[in-house]
Structure 1
Amino acid sequence: MSHPESPSRLKLQGIKRRAVSFSASTELVTTSQLQPDQPLPLIIQPQVEGLNLETWALNQRQWLESQLLQHGGILFRNFNINSVPAFEQWMQSLYGSLLDYSYRSTPRSTVSGKIYTSTEYPADQWIPLHNEMAYSRSYPLRIAFYCVQPAVEDGATPIADSRIIFQKLDSQIKERFIEKRVMYVRNYGGGLDLPWQTVFQTSKHSEVEVYCRQAGIEWKWRSEDRLRTRQVCQAIATHPVTGDRVWFNQAHLFHVSSLAPAVRESLLAVVPPEELPRNAYYGDGTPIEDSILDEIREVYQQEMVIFPWQQGDILLLDNLLAAHGRTPFVGLRNVVVGMAEPYESRLPDTN
């Protein structure tokens, strides 16, 4: 997949620090932006050596939350978080219990407690911009990434403002998705994608059925080890605090057009469209046009913001306000992730 350079691909080096309006609450840090007209992410760095991020963040939580709602994401750099357990403790101190990665769509491993590896896709592949678990009606409001080890080359976590994505999309596309919503169809088993045991984190059919029933997911066992699920989810979301409308779905990731042409052709030569491991449709089951998804991907591309990771960086995102992805990379890359504050979409009755 080719990804041409975009004006929003901005670099963090050479950024000038600017002090916040000092008060007793913020005089220990400086804030900066990638560029004056690029509010995502806000960069916070300590002005005092050895500043304890956990203690400081707890004392300034109200201010931090207001900045997060304004900017959509905060990059904490040069603080004293130097281990995965310390990162987990920092998240727990701010948000309480962290979330399990349930109803999975990508391969991940547990690192510590409820901290997971970021998506374990091959290093030469892009992971397109998306909001975490936007293919579900239940998702985290907060997601944070911790850079244990940056890659030798590239391996950035690009981000984009979901409010701007929504604003820039063609109005007819938005209206169609708002009216119809998005249906995700998944086929498990057969060795083509994640097995259902991994997705649902259980080997019991009965536990899968309980989860699906509670989540509003239709399911059908096609054999002892083959399962098909179908769920209609939101295409957009309204932020519960700010009231902002955001583009919030993964149609562009689940749809078969997201695959490289050669992979798509070889897969469809083996299985019919209804048997694909995953696919996305309009909520009424009709096909989503490839051209519409291409337009959506193009807007993500235009709004993508990239910064290079440094060891010890923490990127905190409001999962509704900011999308994220991953660029290809060379060498060892170790970025872990934690999620917090569960939220559930209540779909309007369209009957």
Structure 2
Amino acid sequence: MKNYRIEETGQYFPTEIVGDNSGSVLDIAYQDVVQNFENAGALVFSGFKCDIEEFYRFNTQFAAKILRDPFEDRIPHKVSDEIQSVTIGTGGLELHAEFGHTPFRPDVISFFCETPASEGGATTICDSAAILMELERSVLDVFLSKKIRYEFGISERVWQKFFLTNDMSAVQKYLKTMGVDAHADRYRTLCAAWETPAVFKSRFSGLNSIASNLFERTYPGLRITFADGEEISPEVLSEFGRAAKLHTVELKLNSGQMVMLDNTRFLHGRREFLDPLRKLFAIQYMARS
């Protein structure tokens, strides 16, 4: 007999898997997770005796390759360096997909709340399929007809850590195979540009999703235009923001709660908080076929 129940909260909302406070997330049937994740794109787990070790073991069931964030503000957990703290600081974060401005976007990102903030700090999520359905037709047509161009810089220390080499030429050649134009500046910063369709199919549901990192404040130094060089107008960005705000869900996670997101479909962010004791960890990966 299952010691959990599955609660569907509606289209474009996360599905909740709720335990009876006696079992582990590892007790959840594999197919229950896969099927509901494919359909909903976001799962929230509550009512389980879950710690960081179980969080790690649970997610590795579905991972073909775990990705580590190379930026220095991500602190590895003592359980595994494949578990990392989320962005430090206490400010709010705009909706985005993890590495959605690069060809290295992970399929899945999962979050585990070890210690919630005493006030504020809610995790925000938004189904980009819902954004597409909400957009005014004229703006939707713009996104359907155009590609997005992302331009960004990566410091020498970070790209060496990510690519596990100090050979800039080898990195440039590899990036070219991924559709990324890259060159080094005089400080050996990797200056990169990547283009992607604004609208694409999500990895799991096959629903149309939208280019995710359209809010420039998410990643410092990120420049976003259409691929033809045209600036994305304030009117288009305002409409995108309106649609996203309408479908944004706030998750006020408690200790031991976990969230699993389709990173090719759902955007995530954070509300501002003041409590320095808040601890939220993440694991991101390419999923098994």
Same fold (TM over 0.5): yes
Give how far 1:78 is off. 2.5
Tell me which of 134, 151, 156 is aligned to 2:100: 134
Give how far 1:38 is off. 6.6
- Normalising by structure 1, report the TM-score: 0.73
1:163/1:247 contact within 8 Å kept: yes
Give how far 1:214 is off. 3.0
Please list every run of 5 or more consecutive structure 2 residues that lacks an aligned counterpart in the other structure. none
1:219/1:230 contact within 8 Å kept: yes
Q: Distance in 2 between matches of 1:241 and 1:87?
A: 21
Distance 1:85 1:210, change over 3 A: farther
Residue 86 of structure 2 is matched in structure 1 by 118
Tell me which of 150, 171, 176 is aligned to 2:137: 171
1:226-247 Cα offsets, whole Å, 9 max, x none, are 4422111231221244321111
Residue 303 of structure 1 is matched in structure 2 by 247
Distance 1:319 1:179, change over 3 A: same
Map 1:64-103; keep pairs closer than 5 Å: 64-82=33-51, 84-101=52-69
Q: Distance in 2 between matches of 1:290 and 1:71?
A: 31
Give how far 1:126 is off. 1.5
Tell me which of 14, 19, 22 is aligned to 1:50: 22
**Are 1:294 and 2:238 an aligned pair?**
yes
Map 1:170-319; keep pairs closer than 5 Å: 170-188=136-154, 195-199=155-159, 201=161, 203-253=166-216, 277-319=221-263
Tell me which of 340, 346, 351 is aligned to 2:285: 340
Q: Distance in 2 between matches of 1:140 and 1:240?
A: 10
Distance 1:342 1:63, change over 3 A: closer
Q: Distance in 1 between matches of 2:181 and 2:115?
A: 40
**Are 1:63 and 2:32 an aligned pair?**
yes
Residue 267 of structure 1 is matched in structure 2 by none
1:139/1:342 contact within 8 Å kept: no
Distance 1:198 1:239, change over 3 A: same
Q: Distance in 2 between matches of 1:307 and 1:227?
A: 36
How many pairs align?
282
Please list every run of 5 or more consecutive structure 1 residues that lacks an aligned counterpart in the other structure. 1-23, 189-194, 260-275, 344-351
1:139-173 Cα offsets, whole Å, 9 max, x none, are 22211100011111111111111211111112222
Q: Distance in 2 between matches of 1:199 and 1:151?
A: 32
Distance 1:204 1:149, change over 3 A: farther
Higher strand fraction: Structure 1 or Structure 2? 2
Q: Percent identity?
A: 20
Code of the aligned partner of 2:44: L
Give RMSD over aligned pairs: 2.6
Q: Distance in 1 between matches of 2:260 and 2:239?
A: 28
Task: Compare CA radii of gyration and give the structure with the larger one.
Answer: 1
2:12/2:129 contact within 8 Å kept: no
Residue 264 of structure 2 is matched in structure 1 by 320
- Normalising by structure 2, report the TM-score: 0.87
1:142/1:319 contact within 8 Å kept: yes
1:62-116 Cα offsets, whole Å, 9 max, x none, are 122211222221111121222x3332122112335422336x6x94232223111
Distance 1:136 1:200, change over 3 A: farther
1:163/1:244 contact within 8 Å kept: yes
Residue 192 of structure 1 is matched in structure 2 by none
Q: Distance in 1 between matches of 2:32 and 2:180?
A: 38
